[in-house]
Structures are given as structure tokens and as C-alpha cells.
Amino acid sequence: MRWHDHAERLLTYAEPVSRVGLYVSLAIIYAWFGGMKFTDYEAQGLVPLVENSPLLSWFYAAFSVRGFATFLGFLELSIGLLIALRLASPVFSVAGGFLSAGLFVTTLSFMFSTPGVVVPELGVPAITVAPGQFLLKDAGLFAASFWVFVDSLKAAIRK
């Protein structure tokens, strides 16, 4: 048996496991992040990000700090549930992946709107641990979310 045949056999098993793993991982991340939004600790931690964002700062005029965090918590829990519902129908995870990708585009915008992301004495690309490196992980989460959207859309179209 050639290495190519072994690789094909491995892919037969690994691909579905990696697909399920990605969906489950994103759902867990959203459950955890969403659940944290109901705490004062997390609500206060969002303030420097949200208040400096041209996209989101207006939310604090419409809601309190806790009110916005609660709204965001429900949104994140809903996105996680939509992604997890891929088991029932890919239509759910199409919506979840799309909303998730949009949310991570928004959080990545904080890299540019939040003061203190770039370490001034070192300049770009030097970023702080928090919030810089904390936000940078959202580039990978955006990619995973967009993959879920595309994978789910392909599955929904084929149904």
C-alpha cells in the first residue's frame, strides 16, 4: 500500500472528526464567552473596547454597560446554539457561521479603535498582551466562523 492510500484512508476518518471538532469548539467558545457577559466583571472589561468603537459606542447611549453586555451575552449564546444546531440542519449553522464571522470582524475592528493596542515605544507590529493579543485571536476565530458558514452553506444547498 502506498503512502497516498494510507493518507486517503486517514482522511476518511479525520475529516468528519475535524469538522465536528470545529463546530463543537466554536459552540463551546460561544457558550463560555456568552455566559461571561452576564457578569459585572466581563461587562466592565468591555467598556474600553466598546466606548472607543465607532461601530458600537452608540450602544452605551441606548443601554447601560450591563444592559449591552447582557444583550451581547444573549447574542453570543444564540450564535453558539445556531452553530451547534448543525446536527439538526445546516441551515442553522449557515446563520450561526455568518453571524459569528460578522461578530469577529467587529471585534477585530477594536484593534484599530482601542487606545493602547500598539506598544508606542516599539511601534507596529508590537501589540500589548491585553487588549492587543487578546483581540488578535479573533482573526483565527473569524476564519473558523467563515469556514463554518461556507461548509454549512454547501451542505444546505446539497440537501
Cβ neighbours around 82 below 10 Å, total: 23
pLDDT at 159 over 80: no
State the chain's mean pLDDT as an integer: 95
- ω into residue 125 within 30 of 0, thus cis? yes
Our separate counts of H helices and E strands in the chain read 6, 0
Convert the pLDDT of each residue in 8-25 to its tens digit. 999 999 999 999 999 999
Give the cell for residue 9.
Answer: 484512508
- Residues 66 and 40: their CA atoms lie apart, in Å, by 7
Give the cell for residue 64.
Answer: 447601560
DSSP state of 114: S
Give the cell for residue 95.
Answer: 446563520
- Residues 148 and 150: their CA atoms lie apart, in Å, by 6
Convert the pLDDT of each residue in 106-130 to its tens digit. 999 999 999 989 888 887 889 999 8
- Residues 157 and 146: their CA atoms lie apart, in Å, by 16
